[in-house]
Amino acid sequence: MNYYKIDEKNRVVCQLCRHYCELKEKQVGICGVNKNENGKFKNLVYNHPSTINVDPVEKKPLYHFLPSTTSLSFGTVGCNFQCPFCQNWKISQEHNIDTNTIVTKEQMVALALKYECKSISYTYNEPTIFYPYAKDVGLLAKEYNLKNIFVSNGFESKEVIEDMRDWVDAINVDLKSFNSEYYKKILKGGLEELKDSLKLMLKNGIWVEITTLVIDEINSNPKELEKIAKFIVNELGSHIPWHLSAFHPDYKMDKHSPTKLKSLTDAYEIGVKAGLKYIYLGNIPVPSETYCPKCEESLILRKNFDVIKNILKDSKCTKCDTKIEGIWE
């Protein structure tokens, strides 16, 4: 794909996310890492990751994608959102790029193979803003039978989502609220664009899981959570896993109270009532289970990010033979 175009005013229009920043000479986009340099688009963080780790895939979180495997995970600085509760704000809201740190696509894939990872995850900050770097790593990764995972706010441009179909296997998208004004004024994004992105991702064959960070007094209202759950069921599919994650005080919301357990369990019941098959609680010290939606047999048991039990056989329930949606191998 073309990562940019030139408009009638000779500005570079970035096509990575739905901000479509119109950049004059030497101007940098909202994300802080994409620039008009000499009339051309330049991704300033290309080959310059800020963080690299080996994580369990369950930490993304992805619960229906290659369970019990590890994923080489990396991100850069910068973001196209400004979430006041960001847990990775020290890199996502940072615009100073350490150009002394250089990791090429060949080196990144070699790290994944060295540590016997089954996938590479583009995460920690918003991967859409370093898409040219991510894609080059990802295409090489596929040559070595590695899967590719995005952990995203879902504000990709339509052009990027169309391009993702060729190399991205799975994505966890943060659906942070169902309030358009909150998305626009506080997060600096857009709810309608996010909803459209999710539909396009599914249309393009990408495995999708959704995370909602439940924050008391912000998005814990039962009516709002019900809207999220019904949107997932009615417009995406009842098989989409919904991760309900607990907030802990951080960044600009370091004085805000942590999420109450009851808020999460209430949200869980809302999801069940809406018809979602797979709902998980996160950031709290309780086991997490995948149940067969037909016979309710416990099939996968997780504790923290460790899979304690997995009795799926050929992607099916071992008790009633119901197919369990996901990518299991």
Partners of 23 in the beta sheet?
Answer: 12
pLDDT at position 235, please?
98
Structure tokens at 180: 């358009």
pLDDT at position 17, please?
98
Structure tokens at 280: 């998980």
pLDDT at position 302, please?
97
If phi over 0 gives left and psi between -120 and 50 gives alpha, with beta otherwise, what is residue 156? Answer: beta
pLDDT by residue, tens only, the chain of 329 residues: 999 999 999 999 999 999 999 999 999 999 999 999 999 999 999 999 999 999 999 999 999 999 999 999 999 999 999 999 999 999 999 999 999 999 999 999 999 999 999 999 999 999 999 999 999 999 999 999 999 999 999 999 999 999 999 999 999 999 999 999 999 999 999 999 999 999 999 999 999 999 999 999 999 999 999 999 999 999 999 999 999 999 999 999 999 999 999 999 999 999 999 999 999 999 998 899 999 999 999 999 999 899 999 999 999 999 999 999 999 99
Cα end-to-end span (Å), the chain: 29
pLDDT at position 284, please?
94
CA separation for the pair 58, 188 (Å, rounded):
28
What is each CA distance from 226 to 40, 92, 96, 114, 195, in whole angstroms?
Answer: 45, 30, 40, 44, 15
Strands 147-152 vs 298-303: parallel, antiparallel or unpaired: unpaired
pLDDT at position 64, please?
98
Structure tokens at 158: 């339509």
pLDDT at position 201, please?
98
The matching CATH number, chosen from 3.40.630.40, 3.20.20.70, 3.20.20.450, 3.50.50.60, for 51-286 is: 3.20.20.70
pLDDT at position 303, please?
95
pLDDT at position 79, please?
98
CA separation for the pair 251, 86 (Å, rounded):
6
pLDDT at position 29, please?
98
pLDDT at position 194, please?
98
pLDDT at position 163, please?
98
To the question of pTM greater than 0.85 for the whole model, the response is: yes
- Domain extents in the chain: 4-43, 51-286, 287-329
pLDDT at position 83, please?
98
